[in-house]
Amino acid sequence: MRYVSTRGIGGSISGAEAILRGLADDGGLYVPEKMPILPLTYFEDMKAMDYPARAAYILKLFLPEFSDLDHICKAAYERFDGHPAPLVDYGEDLPLVLELWHGPTCAFKDMALQMLPLLMNKAREIAGEEREMCILTATSGDTGKAALEGFRDRQGTRVLVFYPQDGVSEIQKLQMITQEGSNVGVCGIRGNFDDAQTGVKQVFSDENFAKKLQGGFLSSANSINLGRLLPQIVYYVSAYIDFISENPGKTLNICVPTGNFGNILAALYAKEMGLPIGRLLCASNINCVLTELITFGHYNRNVSLHTTISPSMDILVSSNWERALHLLSGGNSEYVKECMLQLASSGRYELNSDCFNAMKLHFDARYCDDDYTKSCIAQVYERTQKIIDPHTAVAVSVLLEEEGFSQKDTPYMVVSTAHPGKFPEAVLSALSIEYNGNPIEALQGYTAIPAPLLGLEEKEKRFLSSVSPDAIFDVVEQFAN
Ligand SMILES: *Cc1c(COP(=O)(O)O)cnc(C)c1O
């Protein structure tokens, strides 16, 4: 298996190298040169396996030179509370729900970020890389904490996280600034997620900056990293197997609350590998750049970013869309490069008709605003006594809005991306629950709150600084050296 940049420069490299580098030198993202195909026997092979074994089965197709994937996958899901990715029937004419928040930071980012450090360690061994590694990460809220938790106290590695100071929930912020570990750093950005992401990308693509790092090298834990994408493919395959075991002969459509396009891209990859899933519905909040793209075929980031109650989706430039574009254009890296140049210079580009048609074969898209999101949380609670988080609610909401949804032959599965306890203010408001004081404690009366979200107020706040986006370079240099 070899990997190439979506923008075509630099030839092909191994999976180990791709995981270590993060972003390609030409600014592109690494993608498989040729998508591996699921063996014909995959269903029979995997049916009786537990989740870590299923993960190893899939990852071996992408990373054949990684010798101990069985151990890596087992270790990656040790800190999860029960099944890492249970497919749950909420009943009451609701979609099936794939719960991906049973990891140590209560968001779906754990699915990949508990594994990425282990993959990176192995990749370093394979590549004979002995320099210290500095992981840089821009976060819209959940990636930061999950990366910190994944990389804390790992030898030979440091991890530095940038988050938009006013763009994350209070709990998300507390989770990050109270992070323990001797090799971690957290810094607020006076700007939005796109500012943080752009700043971090600039650091990566600056060759002179790389030379300033005394004997170390930079890598990324963002979803641009191949090592983030691969573990996410697993839960789609796993969920499909669980579904078909109960519903032989049926197909499954999938609805994903989407921000940087990493999660839903993994579903597209699973489909390309031969998993017979149906439509992929991309759900957005009012930052609906992707809805416009998928509906009309143009990408336009020249709109203002709104903060919403689903902050992990407050994004205008969805990095992983570039991987989808590469795939949908038949691997046309010249075309991808041209689109990305246009996006950088004018903030927009138009899909050509081949690409548009290829996209329509897989994707639908809809969006909803905060009011609909909240009323969806209330509706689901009324029907089932279960509380869903605002991101999950965006996805459920766009489905319930669809006429005749519950009578459809092909059921939908919604990907549930966070525990509601990460967004207690929004959830309490959606449920019209009055409270004084600590919202987490108030929410505790209605749903079980996982231990990692409790007692954050009492922990030491270790990282209080914030900087303007142009100071990112200085912060990285200080931290790395
Ligand atoms: C990151 C995140 C998303 C968006 O996922 P992408 O892979 O960036 O599209 C949605 N919901 C939650 C809770 C998240 O943390």
pLDDT digits (tens, 9 = 90+) for 221-257: 888 899 999 999 999 999 999 999 999 989 999 999 9
Mutate to test the pocket of ligand 1, among 236, 258, 316 (most ligand atoms within 8 A of CB): 258
Model confidence at 294: pLDDT above 70:
yes
pLDDT of residue 52: 98
> Is 403 a residue whose pLDDT tops 80?
no
Would you state the pLDDT for residue 10? 87
Instruction: Give the Cα separation of 407 and 248 in Å (integer).
Output: 18
Assess contact for 399 and 281: CB atoms under 8 A.
yes
Q: To the nearest whole number, what is the mean pLDDT of the chain?
A: 94
**Ligand 1 close to Cβ of residue 107 (< 6 A):** yes
Please tell me the residue having the least CA distance from ligand 1 atom 4.
259
CA of 239 to the centre of ligand 1 (A): 18
Q: Which of these is catalytic: 34, 47, 74, 109?
A: 109
For residue 186, how many other CB atoms are within 10 A of its CB?
Answer: 25
Higher per-residue pLDDT: 455 or 71: 71
**Alpha carbon of 441 to ligand 1 centroid (Å):** 25
Stated as kind and residue range, the H or E segment containing 254 is: strand 253-257
Helix (H) or strand (E) holding 257: strand 253-257
Question: Quick one: pLDDT at residue 40?
Answer: 96
Give the pLDDT score at 214.
76
pLDDT of residue 347: 96
| Residue to substitute in 99, 116, 142, 392 for testing ligand 1 pocket (most ligand atoms within 8 angstroms of CB) | 142
Check residue 206 and give its pLDDT: 86
Burial letters for 261-294: b for 16+ Cβ neighbours within 10 Å, e otherwise?
Answer: bbbbbbbbbbbbbebebeebbbbbbbbbbbbbbb
Asked whether 313 lines ligand 1 (CB < 6 A), one says yes
In sequence order, which residues have a C-beta less than 8 Å from that of residue 443 and are 6 or more positions away? Answer: 387, 420, 421, 424, 427, 428, 433, 449
The number of the ligand 1 atom at minimal distance from the alpha carbon of 389 is 13
By percentage, how much of the chain surpasses pLDDT 70?
99
User: Which residues are CB-neighbours of 227 under 8 A, at least 6 positions away?
Assistant: 19, 112, 115, 116, 119, 120, 123
What is the number of the ligand 1 atom nearest to the C-alpha of 140? Answer: 1
193 has pLDDT over 80? yes
pLDDT, mean of residues 457-479: 93
- Residue 261 CB–ligand 1 contact under 6 Å: yes
Query: Which residue has a Cα nearest atom 8 of ligand 1?
Result: 260
Q: Is 103 in the pocket of ligand 1 (CB under 6 A)?
A: no
Q: Which of 65, 16, 73, 61 is nearest to 274 (CA)?
A: 61
**pLDDT greater than 70 at residue 407:** no
**What pLDDT is stored for residue 14 in this prediction?**
97
CA distance linking residue 161 with residue 135, whole number of Å:
8
Ligand 1 centroid, distance to 154 Cα (angstroms): 25
Cα–ligand 1 centroid distance for 222 (angstroms):
11
Mean pLDDT of 181-191: 95
- φ and ψ of 434, to 5 deg: -80, 145
Distance 381 CA to ligand 1 centre (A): 22
pLDDT of residue 204: 83
CA nearest ligand 1 atom 15, residue: 142
pLDDT band at 93 (very low <50, low <70, confident <90, very high): confident
Query: What local confidence, expressed as pLDDT, does residue 197 receive?
Result: 85
Query: Confidence class of residue 210 from pLDDT cuts 50, 70 and 90?
Result: confident
Specify whether 109 is catalytic. Answer: yes
How many Å lie between the centroid of ligand 1 and the Cα of residue 107?
8
Q: Hey, what are 181's tokens?
A: 């570990």
pLDDT at residue 68 greater than cutoff 70: yes
Ligand 1 centroid vs 260 CA: distance in angstroms? 7
What's the mean pLDDT in 184-200? 91
| Per-residue pLDDT band at 98 (split at 50, 70, 90) | very high
Range of 211-215, 322-326, 452-456, 464-468 with top mean pLDDT: 322-326
Q: Taking 80 as the threshold, does the pLDDT of residue 151 lie above it? A: yes
Task: For a ligand 1 pocket test, name from 137, 312, 419 the mutation site with the most ligand atoms within 8 angstroms of its C-beta.
Answer: 312
Return the ligand 1 atom nearest residue 142 CA. Answer: 15
| Nearest C-alpha neighbor of 128 from the set 208, 221, 22, 20 | 20
pLDDT tops 80 at residue 263 = yes
Which protein residue has the closest C-alpha to ligand 1 atom 12?
A: 417
Cα of 297 to ligand 1 centre, how many Å? 22
Task: Point out the least confidently predicted range of 78-87, 210-219, 287-296.
Answer: 210-219
Q: Band of the pLDDT at 216, cuts 50, 70, 90?
A: confident
Quick check: 107 and 418 in contact, CB under 8 A? yes
Calpha distance 311→390 (Å, rounded): 9
Task: Output the pLDDT for position 155.
Answer: 86
pLDDT at 404 over 80: no
Is residue 107 pLDDT above 70, yes or no? yes
Ligand 1 neighbourhood includes 419 CB (under 6 angstroms): no
Hey, what amino acid is at 146? A
- Which residue puts its alpha carbon closest to atom 14 of ligand 1? 312
Mean pLDDT within 356-384: 97
Q: Is 260 in the pocket of ligand 1 (CB under 6 A)?
A: yes
Pairwise CA distance, residues 268 & 303, whole Å:
27
Place of tokens 């009451």: 92
